[in-house]
Structure 1
Amino acid sequence: MLKVASLLQENGAEVTVVALHRPNLPRFERHETGGFAIQRIPIVSPKHRIFGLIKWMELVIKITWSHRRADAWHCNDAEAFAIGLVAKATRPRLKLVYDCHEFESERNAKSAWLSRSVRWMEERWIHRAEEVIVVSPSIEAAYRDRYESRGMKRISLVRNVPDARALIASSHPLRCALGLDEAAFIALYQGALTFNRGVETLVAMAPMLEGTRIHLVFMGYGPLEPLVKNAAVSHAHVHLQPAVPYTEVLDYTSDADVGLVSVKPVCLSYLYCLPNKLFESIQAGIPVLVNDLPDCISLVQAYGIGEQVE
């Protein structure tokens, strides 16, 4: 989203990124480097889950009313596309771009009714989008198979590739932060510490690292952070590095010896993924180990930049 908003702003568009308001954040500001506006929408509905529908309706009304006169909406997931469809109903000239950061109807940890609802919405109204953007060849093929007959106008593949930039020469920020010398072999998991990303499996391997020079490093945050912290306390070869600013990620990644893409293919969105961490490892110049994920394996094998693991 940051790259899209910055690029559009650079090319003369007046961009506003709309998000939910959170405490201690301003309701309106300008991004310090991208120059685009950020508007955070406050919600007054009770936060309890039983008020979820009321909260959703409040959000739809506020965003639609505030931004219905825009020329185009770039909708960054299925929920945003649903709000965009409501706005387009009030102003048919509004153009929508549906940016699917995942296989939206096949996402991890989503209830069956929500997945069915997303597919129902896509089948009936995906033709309202001027363009659909997907992140992997397999997701592109699946969307073509499902929705070209439904009038989908155009689909584009845009991978999650970070902006190219030079690395800091002879810098070892990760090793310095963790107190590891150059002899340590660092296997790096970076990204969300959440379920079905292989975090639990990697932590379970911790006892096998004792007596070796291999150090398992997790860089990120999420619901499984306590699990990783406990493992780091119990095992000298397991480490937790807090998330670092986006502009510093590649410098930390380049300090590792191998990147880990351990996503479990528990849903089609995960099976067909091409995650940021894969491209970050590639740009950082380190090899990657990937699970049985067809798009990841295809890329790794095509360029000889890693290996598949079972």
Structure 2
Amino acid sequence: MKTDKKKIIVSVTNDLVSDNRVHKVCTTLYSMGFEVLLVGRILPHSSEVKRQYSTKRFQLLFKKGPCFYAEYNFRLFLYLLFAKYDILLSNDLDSLTGNFVASQLRNKPLVYDSHEYFIEVPELVHRPKIQSIWLWLEQKILPKIQYAYTVCQSIADVYNKEYGTDFKIVRNLPLKQNYKPAEKQSDEKIILYQGALNIGRGLEQAIKAMNNIDGVKLVIAGDGDIREQLHDLVLQEKLHDKIQFAGRLPLEELAKLTATADLGLSIEEDLGLNYRFALPNKLFDYIQSQVPVLVTNLPEMAAIVKKYDVGEITDSLEPKQLADKFREALFNEKKRKVWKEKLPFAAKELVWEKEEKVIQEIFKGITR
């Protein structure tokens, strides 16, 4: 696509290091000929970010909580009030206020990418006062959003029904990889969880399940609010020889780790609509690396596994039953043979290169 180098400012509230979805979107926009600036924040231990597009990270006084969100959106608003750009792209409800006000005052198009059903995240469902503030912001802004997309059909249906919007679907699919089987260092089977270490991800149950299975290692790659609790649980259960914490890895290193796994976990609990409708990028990352998956029986994830026949679905996260699912997925050679045959097709189909066409159409429509 030929453009006059129109500028898009993309904003998120994270430190940019490991947000794969936003990186892919920015890369797509950059390849379309746009000048792209990605804005986030910097934390004390944030790694350096090197991208083909420009980046900017705010140094903020507050690191979390209401003061952080207020400070971030105020700083973002002030920046956008005077910056040069043609289009704004806001990622998630926590960056939308600053973008929306600036777009209204500057009369600039605003695109909204909703990575999840924000007001139903587990951190909010039991905090009705905080949840009501986010809901109020959502109700005020979303009906006025002209261009929007989200991660799955279920979330799009909710937003379209509630606010009369037209949310498109852009799933968290990975870039196509040249598949190369990883060389196994031992006969030990590897179960991998990659992603945020937050409540409701089934991590506590997965750790306890390791008491009931041998010849298997659980690798947990990521960081988050419950990291310390998970470390303590491993010590309490005396499972340090069966569980490895890999930490939060750069995207390239994470991809190498994924390829070594025998089973990938995406076992979110049904803690509100956000998790019920979850369709996380880790599920597709496993598939792209041709790793069979184990998912909870939630509609969006289960539909992918059933459609492509690439793994197991569990109705329970009770540790002993979960261990049985681990055993079935790792040692049932008949099933694994089928999955091995099916995974290459799924990996070929579920790629960003096909999904990004939705983004291209949205931004082409804005600049026509």
TM-score range, shorter chain: 0.7 to 0.9
In structure 1, the partner of 2:38 is 17
Q: Per-residue displacement from partner, 1:273-300 (whole Å, max 9, x unpaired)?
A: 0011110111111211111211000110
**1:47/1:189 CA distance change after superposition, 3 Å:** closer
**In the alignment, is the contact (CA less than 8 A) between 2:154 and 2:277 conserved in 1?**
yes
SS in 2 for 1:109: helix
For residue 268 of structure 1, what is the aligned residue in structure 2?
A: 273
**TM-score, length of structure 2 as denominator length:** 0.71
Q: Distance in 1 between matches of 2:128 and 2:57?
A: 30
Distance in 1 (CA, whole Å) between partners of 2:248 and 2:44 is: 21
Call closer, same or farther: CA 1:53–1:2 in 2, change over 3 Å: closer
Q: How many matched pairs?
A: 289
Match of 2:54 in 1: 37
- Which residue among 291, 295, 310 is the counterpart of 1:290? 295
Which runs of 5 or more structure 2 residues have no equivalent in the other structure?
1-21, 317-368
Matched with 2:218 is 216
Displacement of 1:105: 2.1
**Other-structure match for 2:134:** 118
Query: Any runs of at least 4 consecutive aligned residues in structure 1 with deviations exceeding 6 A, and if so which?
Result: 46-50
Cα distance between partner residues in 2 of 1:221 and 1:48: 15
Alignment RMSD (CA, Å):
2.6
* Amino acid in structure 2 at the alignment position of 1:249: L
Higher fraction of helix: 2
Pick aligned residue for 1:74 from 55, 78, 89:
89
Letter in structure 2 aligned against 1:87: A
Alpha-carbon displacement from aligned partner over 1:166-212 (angstroms, at most 9, x marks no partner):
1344434xx5xxxxx1x212221111222111111112223212xx2
Q: Is the contact between residue 167 and residue 251 of structure 1 (CA under 8 Å) also seen in structure 2?
A: no
Return the offset for 1:71.
Answer: 1.1
Query: Any stretches of 5+ residues in structure 1 without a counterpart?
Result: 176-180
Letter of the aligned partner of 2:172 in structure 1? N
- Larger relative contact order, structure 1 or 2 (CA cutoff 8 Å, min sep 6): 2
**In structure 2, how many angstroms separate the alpha carbons of the residues matched to 1:241 and 1:54?**
33
Aligned to 1:187: 191
Partner of 1:178: none
1: CA distance between counterparts of 2:58 and 2:287? 37
Shift of the 105–184 alpha-carbon distance from structure 1 to 2, 3 Å rule, reads same
Q: What is the correspondence of 1:191-206 to structure 2 with a 5 Å cutoff? A: 191-206=195-210
**Contact 2:73/2:97, CA 8 A, preserved across alignment:** no
Paired residue type of 1:252: L
Deviation at 1:83, TM superposition (A): 1.0
User: 1:147 offset after TM fit, Å?
Assistant: 1.5
* Identity fraction in percent: 26
Residue of 122, 136, 139 corresponding to 2:155: 139
Output the amino acid matched with 1:239: Q
Indicate the residue corresponding to 2:112 in structure 1. 98
